[in-house]
Each structure stands twice: as C-alpha cells, then as structure tokens.
Structure 1
Amino acid sequence: MAGFIEGIERGQTVLFPERLEDWIGEDSLVRVVDLFVDELDLPGLGFVRSAPARTGRPGYHPAVLLKLFIYGYLNRIPSSRRLEREAGRNVETMWLTGRLVPDHKTIADFRRDNGPAIRRTCAQFVELCRRIGTLKGDCVAIDGSKFKAVNNRDRNFTKGKIASRLVHLEADVARYINEMVRIDRQEEGEARVEKMEHLARRYGRIRQEIARLKAMDKALTDTPDGQISLTDPDARAMATSARHSGLVGYNVQNVVDTETHIIVTHDVTNQGFDRDQLSPMATAAKEALNRDDLHAIADKGYFSGAQILACHEVGITTTVPRPATSGNEGKGMFVKADFLYDPERDVYRCPAGNELTYRYSREEGGLTVARYWINECQHCPLQRRCTSGKERRITRWEHEHLVDDMRDRLKRDPDPMTLRRCTVEHPFGTIKAWMGATHFLTRRLRGVRTEMALNVLAYNIKCMVALIGIRRMMEAIPG
C-alpha cells in the first residue's frame, strides 16, 4: 500500500533558519505593494506621523500601515481587527511590515486620520498607469452604484416614516388605556396590581418613543433633504434599480477607461441621483488623464442640458441617451425625433411635410428654449398620430445641436451603450463581490470616501497586473 506525502516534523531543528525573503516568490503581488509604497512621496501626499504614546514609544512609519491596508484590501481583509491578526500570523504581512504587529486601534486611526492622503495615493497609481502608457483614456464610461452604509433602514427617518410610526404608536396608547380601564373595573387583588404595573411601564415607554419621534420630526425641518440617519448621519435612503427596494447608503461614482477597464477617477456622494454628476466626473477624468479632449459615455440618468453644455465647454464630448418623457412612442404616436430640424431656415418639418415655425424664446429651468408650432393640424390626416390639440408644438434648447450629435453617435455601430454597460458595471460588480453581502465599515462621508479609495486602488492594482504582469509592473514603478 502506497504511503502519503509527509510534512516536516514540527519539532525538527534546522542548521540555518529560513528567512522571510525565502517564503515570498519573485512574482508575488505583495512585492508590487512594497515597491509602490516605497516609491511614494508620503509627506508630499499628506501622510502624517502617528503621535507617540505617553510612555515615549515612537509611532509606526506611515509606509508600514499603508502597505498593510493595501494588502488587506487586495485580499478582502478590510477590517482593522482582522488586519491585526494577519500581521501576526501571515507570512506575507510579516515580510511586508518587517514582522511588526500594530494593534487594531492604531490601524483604524491611520485610515481615519489619513483619508485625503490615501485618496491621493489612489490618484497617484492612476498617474503611474498613464505615465507608463497603459492608460490612454480616449474614451471613458461613467456610472453610479448604491453601496450600503453601516446605518440600518430602521434608523433612517423621514417625515413620512415618522408620521406612519406615530399613527401606530398612538393606536397602541389608546389600546393600553382601554385595557387598563377594563382591568381596573373587572379584576381585583395582586393580579390586578401586576397587570396595571406592567401596562403602565409599556405605556410609559411608548410615550417616551412618541416624544422622541416628535422631537426628531421637528429637527427634520432644518435638514435640507428631509432625512435623519442616527448611526451614520451622512448616509441617506436611496432607491435602487429593483422595484420597491432601496437602501440607506451612498452613491459611488466611477469613471472607467473603456479599453483597459481601469478606474480613472471616482467619488462618493450621498445624493440618490446621478443627474448632477456628469460634468464633475468627466472633468475630473480629463484632468487625471491629462488630455485636451475626452469622450465620455453615460446612461440616461445623467442626461442634463446644463451638464452636457458644461462638458462641451471644456472639450469633453458626451454621449448620453435622452430619457423618454412621454409614452407617445409606445402608443404609436409621433415623437420629437420624428420632426426634422432645418438649421438654415430655423424650422421643423413634421411627418406630413408641414413646417413648424419659430414663435418665441424663454428661459426654463435655467436653459433658454425656443418654441415652434403650426396651426394647420386640425386639417391634417395624421393629426390623430400627432396631437390632440389644434396645433403641434416643439421645444428646442439653444444648444440642441449637442443633443442631436449625441443621438447620431448612439445610432452608430458599435452601440456606445453596450460599450458602457460592458465597461463600467464590471468594476462595481467586482468591488461589491470583494466586500461581500455587507456594508462600508466606516461612518461619515469622509470615512466612506477613504474606504472606497482603498477598494479602487486594490482593483486598479489587480487590473494592471492582469494587463502587463507583475514583473513588468515592478520594472515600471520606479520613476
């Protein structure tokens, strides 16, 4: 009978003790982390030294803690307590930190106190990708995704939620009062006293909860968006793509290069919509890529005339589909796209061949729009498919040619929206898979931004290694 592969005897001694260096392969990802951090100008990025303990013991070098955090997020170990354990038992972390084992509070404090510097480190890696020529950034895709906060939905309040709870609590109060009256009339002895005391305690707790909710309802009048979150004050209730669902969390914005899938830039907001994010994110990507021009693709949630114009003014070409604001197309009726605009004569031509002429201009929602219409619709054979009124009206924004150009780009092959979907949704799926069915570990917007920067940095490192390999990556890191 064949034997088994046998391990080394635990008590066996060796003549020459093995070195930590011997346990780390030449192609180990931990070497990339070590070299990347060693090449950073940590004081220039804003990292601060840990304050020494009162006993006089010096603090840890920022490079040690930064390496530990990057390694943790690369290996799905974001918790400071888990990182403390890994530092004492993991050969790679021992090699990375020189066998130092910082306590979990020191690790957590480093992430809390160096948020802006960690975010600059993430941007520094993007600059490295651009410098070595891997990241060209001819075209980027923009998208947002909702991430759960540490705040539970039951600890997020709006006026509607408070009003609903108050109705139920007032009903409970009435029920307890009626029950106390019934017991007082029908029962005697010790059982009556015990029941009355029990109901009085329940009644008192409910009155306290009602007072707390009324005070919170009063405080809601001072909040700009009508929400209060008790655990994480910056977290907000947001709707998600699934029907009748939502979460309390943050809206993470990513700008991803369509060729390499590297995250060029990112941000975290507590606004539940994307409409105001097109220009800020596209402009930040243009600056990160150091380009004179840029093509940015986004979904219809980003459509905003003001945002599209702001991008155009700084040399950014945007492709964003216009959301359908009416159900006429589904009813088989004509929509605005069926009316052809003649820029030379400044008229619209309807499907029946008649012309809608310019009437006047005015400002709507901060945009200057012109009105066109025709008065001959009641005699037109296509009226039923066009309008139920006496005339058909068309509104045209003064920069409508930008929207027309976007519509033309959307009709080209390959479809930009397919490219967007295949590009920007992948990083979100990957990062959420790393985080698991959990939430951000930190609270407040500044902490969540730091945590997201570490996730993005870890994603980009893995992406670059997949593109060019570990050896080429290590050769390219030194400036």
Structure 2
Amino acid sequence: MSRFVPVDRDTAYLLPPSVDEWLPSDHLARFVVEVIEQLDLSELTRQYAGRGSAAHHPAVLLGLLIYGYANGVHSSRKIERASYDSVAFRYVAANTHPDHDTLATFRRRFLKEVEALFVQVLVLAREMKLLKLGHIALDGTKIGANASKHKALSWAHANKIEAQLRREVQTLLALAEKSDRAAIPDGMDVPAEIARREDRLSAIAQAKAKIEQRAGERHQGEQQEYEGKSAKRKAQRDAGKKPRGKDPEAPQAGPKDADQVNLTDEESRIMPVSGGGFEQSYNAQAGVDTDTMMVITAHVTQACNDKREVVPTLEQIRSLPAVLGEVKSLITDNGFFSQANVIACNDAGVEPLLALKRESHHTPLAQRFAPDAPQPQSTDPVVQMAHRLGTQAGRTLYGRRKQTVEPVFGIIKRVMGWRQMSMRGLAKAQGEWSLVTMAWNIKRMHVLRAA
C-alpha cells in the first residue's frame, strides 16, 4: 500500500476552478480586497477619460500594489508575474493580469491620491474599533534613494573638473585655428570634442547653481540660529549673568568644498546610516500609535537629523479627522528635542515627552522605583516636561517608544523588504512612503482583527 498522496496532473477539473475557493477565509489577500472595497476611490476613477480600450479598475491596481508591498513584492514586473504564479495575487487581481507598465504608471500617477487614502484607512480602522488615538511615538529612519552616492558631484570636484574642461576647450580651439592640419591627431574630431566639453560644462554649471542655492538656504538657517544664540547671551549679560561657554561664531556664507548634489536624484541627500558610513537617502518619518502600532502620520524629509520634524508631524495630527480621537502626547528620543519643539507641542494641545538626553539601558533599581519628585514651581515648559519624564508614569509611557515605532521600521525593512525608494524625487518618495505605511496599516489591521 502506497504511503504517498496520489499525484495526478492529467485529469481535468470536473468543474471550472474558482480562485475564491483556493484561499483560506482569513487570508490577508481577502482582507486587502475587503478594505479597498470600502474606500472612496472616486478621485481616482474620475481621472479616467473612458476613451480607448477598457482600463483595469483602480481598485484592482491599488490592491495589487498594497498586497505586493505588504509581502515584499515591490517591483511592478514581479507583481505582474505573481498575478500568474500566485493564487493570492490572482485573487486580488480577480484573475486578470495587469502588465508591469500599467502598474508602474498607476503608481506614479496617483501617489498624491494615495496620501488621502492613507487617512481613509485610519478612519476605517476606527469604524472597525481597531484604532483610537492616544499616545503617538515619533521616529525617523533612513531609506535609500533610487540613486548611488557615487553619482554625486561635490563643490570642490566640480570646480576642479570645470577648470580642466576649460583648459581642454582652449587647447582644442587653438588646434582648430592652426593652418597646419597635421598637428591634429588622427581620428580627432575637434568640433565634436569641443561640443562634448561644452555640454559637460553646462551640466556642471547647473549642478553648481543647485549647490549654491542649498548653501544659501543653509546659511539663512544658520544665521537665524546664530542671532538667536547671540541675543540669548546678550540678555544674560544684561541681567548680570555670565553666559557659559564660548560665544558662537558667525556662520560663513557660500558653499563648502564637501557640499554636493546627486546627478541621478538631486533631491536626495547624503545621510549617515546606522552601522556607520553614509548613503544617498531620504529621512522617512512615522508617528505610531502606542496601543495598536498603526502609523498615524507619515512624511519624508531631506534633513539628516530629526530636529525640524516635530512641527510637520503636529500639522498632520491637526489635519486628522476628529472621529479618530485626540492625540494626548507625542513621544520621541532626544534627536527631536529643542525648546521650540516643546513649545510647539504645548501650543498644539499635545503633551510633549521629548527625551532631553540619551537614556541609559540599565537604570539603577533605586532610581527606577524612586517616588516622584515634587512639581517644580518654574513655568519653563522644558523644566515641566523634564519633570513629567522623571515621574513613574512618564518613564512608563516613554518606555513604550522603543517597543512601538522601532519594531514598525524593522518589520517594514526586514519582513516587507522595503529599504529603497522605487522612484526619484522628494514628492514621489513622499507618495511611496504613504503607500508603504498604508500597506503596513492594512496588514496590522488584519492582525488586530484576528486578535
């Protein structure tokens, strides 16, 4: 008697197979379709003119992208292939097979609309009783740009190459003016060589103009910071106090030798990454609900650090529908701390819990269980926040940050496999980050509903 399950590839189906019967009832693909069917896609459908051959419905294309991103399939070509090879992708696509060009064009075309759908998914989660806002943990992570850091041009190198090309152009012009043609090497086309160098000089001039523009913007910010510090120290001196440390130095205008622009994606930036080194990247920010681990706010920035990302996050929180509830507090590490950010949180009606310094991993036992210090009499918002962070309740709430936002980044990068932008430019990076975080939220809703 055979111990093996019979294998028969020749017998035809007695009835036409149904893709619906091949998926478990609690499969993520079913949930993705269920969620998308409840979204208002009118902003997408109205942009189809109705001319030519029939188009794939936006619900199908969006479902394929979301299910693909949720399962680590980001390439439009791989999604097209999966619509033939994978039962789950076949189910989402309703047994149709949109080609990779259709998927890529849809993703590029409707990135802005996806940002609005991101909020619709949050509202749907609230209606399903899976989400109620309370405490938000904010953090950022570096996501690779669709560009190599080796395709960047620095200010110093641009000036060096520019001078070399100008010398070569002068040499070629001198050769062209000579009556003795024998002086020109065999096979050299002087006009073509000059034109090639002129084209490179034009490209370098454009790159230098962009570097100068960024340097001007940086100098403006540094000048404002310098004036603020100088005014603060002057006020201390006027009050008869001696300021600590050295007086700040006035910032220098103009580009620095290391300032650079990427020739592939000029809107990306060289950023330090975890583990050491630098990569061409964007800084992706996410505000995550501490109770459900769902992403509530998401935006992309070109800044290497997180100091200026609290205000954009508060603006997103302010624009959320009231039905989602009220955000009580914003929790961040010390990379977000500044007095201006603390004041901005208070003005927005959100309690700030911005770490003042790096927290030690092993707090002494006596300190962990010490009673709360008395309420300070100072009206300084930073002093008040420091007191809240030092209380038992504040330490407990801040301790939830690492187990909230950092696991989300880890799952997105490792499990969902998304570590690099597919498209170039800040606007497209913002749209794709909204798509990624929406895929995460739907995947998380699927887990929460099962629980």
Q: Which range moved further: 277-286 or 458-467?
A: 277-286
Residue 261 (str. 1) matches residue 309 (str. 2): no
Residue 253 of structure 1: CA displacement?
0.9
Aligned to 1:366: none
Residue 169 of structure 1: CA displacement?
9.2
**Where in structure 2 are the equivalents of 1:210-225 lying within 5 Å?**
212-213=203-204, 216-223=207-214, 224=217
Q: Secondary structure at the match of 2:307?
A: coil
Quote the RMSD (CA, aligned, Å): 3.7
**Where in structure 2 are the equivalents of 1:172-187 lying within 5 Å?**
none
Residue 238 of structure 1: CA displacement?
2.0
The one-letter code sitting in structure 2 at the alignment partner of 1:230 is L
Give me the TM-score of the superposition, normalised by structure 1.
0.69
**Contact kept in structure 1, 2:290 and 2:404, CA below 8 Å:** yes
In the alignment, which of 267, 275, 279 is matched to residue 234 of structure 1? 267
**Where in structure 2 are the equivalents of 1:441-460 lying within 5 Å?**
441-460=422-441
**Contact kept in structure 2, 1:166 and 1:210, CA below 8 Å:** no
Residue 342 of structure 1: CA displacement?
8.0
Q: Secondary structure at the match of 1:296?
A: strand
In the alignment, which of 113, 116, 121 is matched to residue 117 of structure 2? 121
Unaligned runs of 5+ in 1: 175-192, 325-339, 345-398, 473-479
Aligned to 1:350: none
Residue 144 of structure 1: CA displacement?
0.9
**Where in structure 2 are the equivalents of 1:71-86 lying within 5 Å?**
71-86=67-82
Residue 242 of structure 1: CA displacement?
4.2
Residue 212 of structure 1: CA displacement?
4.9
Residue 141 of structure 1: CA displacement?
0.6
Aligned to 1:182: none
The one-letter code sitting in structure 1 at the alignment partner of 2:142 is K
Q: Secondary structure at the match of 2:325?
A: coil
Q: Distance in 1 between matches of 2:321 and 2:140?
A: 19
**Contact kept in structure 2, 1:233 and 1:444, CA below 8 Å:** yes
Q: Secondary structure at the match of 1:81?
A: helix
Aligned to 1:391: none
Residue 76 of structure 1: CA displacement?
1.2
Aligned to 2:446: 465
The one-letter code sitting in structure 1 at the alignment partner of 2:156 is A
In the alignment, which of 304, 312, 319 is matched to residue 272 of structure 1? 304
In the alignment, which of 286, 292, 295 is matched to residue 329 of structure 2? 295
Aligned to 1:304: 338
Q: Secondary structure at the match of 1:439?
A: coil
The one-letter code sitting in structure 2 at the alignment partner of 1:140 is I
Aligned residues: 378
Aligned to 1:181: none
Q: Secondary structure at the match of 2:34?
A: helix
- Relative contact order higher in (CA < 8 Å, ≥ 6 apart): 2
**Contact kept in structure 1, 2:152 and 2:261, CA below 8 Å:** yes
Q: Which has the larger radius of gyration?
A: 1
Residue 216 of structure 1: CA displacement?
2.8
Q: Secondary structure at the match of 2:138?
A: strand
Aligned to 2:12: 13
Give me the TM-score of the superposition, normalised by structure 2.
0.72
Residue 439 of structure 1: CA displacement?
1.4
Tell me: CA distance 1:153–1:307, structure 2 relative to 1, closer, same or farther (3 Å): same
Q: Distance in 1 between matches of 2:161 and 2:210?
A: 21
Identity of paired residues, percent? 28
**Contact kept in structure 2, 1:140 and 1:297, CA below 8 Å:** yes
Aligned to 1:367: none
**Contact kept in structure 1, 2:133 and 2:327, CA below 8 Å:** no
Q: Distance in 2 between matches of 1:293 and 1:92?
A: 37
Tell me: CA distance 1:412–1:251, structure 2 relative to 1, closer, same or farther (3 Å): same
Residue 7 of structure 1: CA displacement?
1.9
Residue 154 (str. 1) matches residue 150 (str. 2): yes
The one-letter code sitting in structure 2 at the alignment partner of 1:457 is M
Aligned to 2:369: none
Residue 417 of structure 1: CA displacement?
4.0
Residue 204 of structure 1: CA displacement?
11
**Contact kept in structure 1, 2:155 and 2:211, CA below 8 Å:** no
Q: Secondary structure at the match of 2:97?
A: coil
Unaligned runs of 5+ in 2: 168-184, 219-258, 359-373
Deviations 1:259-317 (A, max 9, x none): 22111121112222211221331342353564345111111121122222122122110
Structure number with higher strand proportion: 1
**Contact kept in structure 2, 1:254 and 1:267, CA below 8 Å:** yes
**Where in structure 2 are the equivalents of 1:37-436 lying within 5 Å?**
37-43=36-42, 45-51=43-49, 56-157=52-153, 161-164=154-157, 167=160, 212-213=203-204, 216-223=207-214, 224=217, 227-243=260-276, 245-285=277-317, 287=320, 290-292=324-326, 294-323=328-357, 343=377, 400=380, 402-413=381-392, 414-434=395-415, 436=417
Tell me: CA distance 1:271–1:95, structure 2 relative to 1, closer, same or farther (3 Å): same
Q: Secondary structure at the match of 1:456?
A: helix
Aligned to 2:228: none
Aligned to 2:361: none
**Contact kept in structure 1, 2:272 and 2:279, CA below 8 Å:** yes
Tell me: CA distance 1:113–1:236, structure 2 relative to 1, closer, same or farther (3 Å): same
Q: Secondary structure at the match of 1:228?
A: strand
